[in-house]
Amino acid sequence: MKNSLHGGRFTFVSYITAILLGIVGIFLGLVSLLDYYTSAGIFFQVLAFIYGAIAWFTAAGLVASGGKIIDVFLNEREAIRRVVALPFFVLAIGAIAYGASIYILSISSEVSGFPITADAGVKYIIFATIGGLFCAFLGVYLQSLLSRWGNDHEPLALKRGA
């Protein structure tokens, strides 16, 4: 972060924004934990925290990786293929974690007052997993595409002399 500050890079602003979004996520995760608190064990408490915080943590990851992509694009364009898949993976992990927390909390008889029914929880986990896997595969495909495109469009060396 110190290098980003001294270099005047966009990453510094995006990292600060990501930290603030992460703090908001922690608070909302704790609020969710208090709303759906159960004495059944720490597993359900962690899932209740994830249910409230994962959207903000995902947004923080997207902002941080977006800032990194912008800096790489502006300063080291040839290295863009290394970082382009990061937001896709962050979104995939966030979607799958959100769907899993909803599913487990909705089918559990230990958590009272959870607003999502068990039938809807099954739909959430299915769609979140499919969406997360699609995002991850899209990120891998884009990274592969940029890698192939970069290899095909390498700068040609100038010949001097005769």
Using 50, 70 and 90 to split pLDDT, how confident is the model at 152? low
Predicted pLDDT at 158: 47
Predicted pLDDT at 4: 52
pTM: 0.83
Residues 4/7/8/13 CA torsion (nearest 10 deg): 0
Per-residue pLDDT reduced to its tens digit, 111-131: 788 899 999 999 999 999 999
Using 50, 70 and 90 to split pLDDT, how confident is the model at 81? confident
Per-residue pLDDT reduced to its tens digit, 17-28: 999 999 999 999
Per-residue pLDDT reduced to its tens digit, 41-74: 899 999 999 999 999 999 999 999 999 999 888 8
CA-to-CA separations, 123 to 106, 120, 148, in angstroms, rounded: 11, 5, 37
94 versus 4: which is more confidently predicted?
A: 94
Contact 57, 24 (CB under 8 A): no
On the question of pLDDT at 10 being above 90, the answer is no
Predicted pLDDT at 112: 80
Predicted pLDDT at 80: 83
Predicted pLDDT at 78: 76
Distance between CA atoms of 157 and 144, rounded to whole angstroms?
Answer: 25
Question: Which residue ranges make up each domain of the chain?
Answer: 2-151
Those residues with Cβ within 8 angstroms of residue 12's Cβ, 6 or more apart along the chain or in another chain: 1, 4, 5
